[in-house]
């Protein structure tokens, strides 16, 4: 219980962060079939074996990524509680650089795009009065536009929107 207590009492993690960390750690340990104390003891006595376990886990998660069942950043998020557990219990013999190099690079941008005029019409057509007002305010205030609008992007005038 002492090993897990060190993980749980890490001052950096807030209550809302601790719950997902615990779930991910429990999933990892149950996947290996070991307890928390056994895992930390093994990491202290045989870091190479634990490193191999973590690498196999990362490769299995990469396979799930290729199947499309998880997102790219999920894999690194699953490693964070494992690393925290080992750091809080002074199991420092693992080569985390080597493990991190196996991770796929995460997408650093959103897949947002500017809605087309037809889409705005459709939104206002199927919305109640509050939804129409919100959509039109956001569009008129240029919240839907990037900082530099391409000249090919058609804009509709205020008069044509009044009909919507």
Each residue's pLDDT tens digit, 2-25: 666 666 665 455 666 778 888 999
Range of the domain at 48: 2-101
pTM for the structure as a whole: 0.61
Taking Cα atoms as reference points, which of 109, 110, 116 lies closest to residue 145? 116
**Judgement on whether residues 154 and 87 belong to the same structural domain of the protein:** no
**Judgement on whether residues 63 and 142 belong to the same structural domain of the protein:** no
**Tokens representing 20?**
């997902």
pLDDT of residue 14: 65
Which of 72, 101, 130 is the C-terminal boundary of a domain? 101
**Judgement on whether residues 31 and 90 belong to the same structural domain of the protein:** yes
**Judgement on whether residues 18 and 89 belong to the same structural domain of the protein:** yes
List, for the chain, all residue ranges whose pLDDT scores fall below the cut of 50: 1, 11, 147-151, 153, 162, 164
Number of domains in the chain: 2
pLDDT of residue 4: 62
- The residue length of the chain stands at 164
**Judgement on whether residues 83 and 158 belong to the same structural domain of the protein:** no
**Judgement on whether residues 56 and 124 belong to the same structural domain of the protein:** no
pLDDT of residue 159: 56
**Judgement on whether residues 31 and 81 belong to the same structural domain of the protein:** yes
Residues 85, 100, 71, 50, Cα dihedral to 10°: -50
């Amino acid at each position: 219980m002492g090993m897990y207590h060190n993980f749980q009492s890490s001052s950096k993690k807030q209550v809302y962060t601790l719950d997902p960390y615990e779930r991910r750690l429990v999933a990892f340990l149950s996947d290996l079939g070991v307890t928390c104390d056994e895992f930390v003891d093994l990491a202290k006595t045989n870091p190479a074996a634990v490193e191999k376990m973590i690498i196999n886990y990362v490769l299995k998660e990469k396979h799930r990524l290729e199947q499309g069942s998880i997102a790219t950043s999920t894999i690194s998020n699953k490693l964070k509680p494992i690393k925290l557990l080992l750091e809080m219990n002074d199991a420092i013999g693992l080569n985390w650089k080597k493990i991190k190099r196996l991770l796929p690079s995460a997408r650093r941008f959103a897949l947002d795009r500017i809605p087309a005029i037809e889409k705005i019409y459709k939104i206002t057509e199927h919305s109640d009065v509050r939804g129409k007002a919100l959509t039109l305010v956001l569009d008129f205030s240029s919240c839907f536009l990037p900082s530099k609008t391409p000249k090919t992007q058609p804009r509709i005038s205020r008069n044509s929107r009044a009909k919507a």
